[in-house]
Chains A and B, each alone.
Chain A
Amino acid sequence: MTEDIPFNVPFLAVAVMVGIAFYTIISQRNLIKLVMGLSILASGVNLFLITLGYRKGGVAPIYTHTPARMMVLPVPQALTLTSIVIAVATLALMLSMVIHIYRHTGSTDSEKSRIMKG
């Protein structure tokens, strides 16, 4: 895996993932599918953070039993750790709120559970 990858394939993958996630959030009416779209958006942003810091022909930035080559950048990996934990916490809170909405109004359709009509 040390040859030249043509025309930036990982950044194109991030653009496709964010595009699909935004289309899902705009057009779906079921609440659980909306939460799935938000989770895909979080995964796309994490992938973008990690692929920003890759050096061609590098190894992991850890000094225990490592071959003596160039190392990749360690700071984007630290920021991605924080982002993954925050995504898990917000996903748990959103799913609890969906359970409560289903218990109070009887359906998971976002058009039928509007309380404030104006």
Chain B
Amino acid sequence: MRKIAIAVSWGIFVAFLIATAFLIHPFGYPPSEMDDYIIENTQSETGANSAVTAVVFDYRGYDTLGEATILFAAVTGVVMLFRRKKKEK
């Protein structure tokens, strides 16, 4: 009985996903105007030749700070889980 309920809810979820894949904007014509401003003014405002690096480090540098914090927390967790106890005599 419980398995039938779980399978039906999974089927409804996947049906919603496939309906979204057919009703979203056609592939290749995105409705966006913010990126036109970024592509026009990257070389005069930041001085970098690559728009992706300018977005990661200059227009959205605060997100990169949060991601560096997540990497630091994950490395601390892994090293803490594998410590060995020193034998005391």
A–B direct touch, CB within 8 Å, in complex?
yes
Query: Which chain A residues have a beta carbon within 8 Å of chain B's beta carbons?
Result: 4-5, 7-12, 14-15, 18-19, 22-23, 26, 51-56, 61-64, 71, 73-75, 77-79, 81-82, 85-86, 89-90, 92-93, 96-97, 100
Which of A15, A23, A63, A73 has a CB less than 8 Å from the CB of B20?
A: A15
Is the beta-carbon distance between A75 and B35 smaller than 8 angstroms? Answer: yes
Which of A7, A18, A64 has a CB less than 8 Å from the CB of B17?
A: A18
**CB within 8 Å for A8 and B26 given contacts A15-B21, A93-B77:** yes
Is the beta-carbon distance between B81 and A85 smaller than 8 angstroms? Answer: no
Which residues of chain A come closer than 8 Å to B39, judged between CB atoms?
61, 71, 74
Chain A residue nearest in CB terms to B34: A75
Is the beta-carbon distance between A22 and B27 smaller than 8 angstroms? Answer: no
What is the interface residue range for chain B against chain A? 35 or more
Once the chains are docked, how many angstroms separate the CA of A89 from the CA of B49? 30
Main secondary structure of the interface of A (DSSP, over half): helix
**CB within 8 Å for A54 and B27 given contacts A61-B39, A73-B35:** yes
Is the beta-carbon distance between B50 and A73 smaller than 8 angstroms? Answer: no
Question: CB-defined interface of B23-54 with A at 8 Å, one 1/0 digit per residue?
Answer: 01011111010110011001100000111100
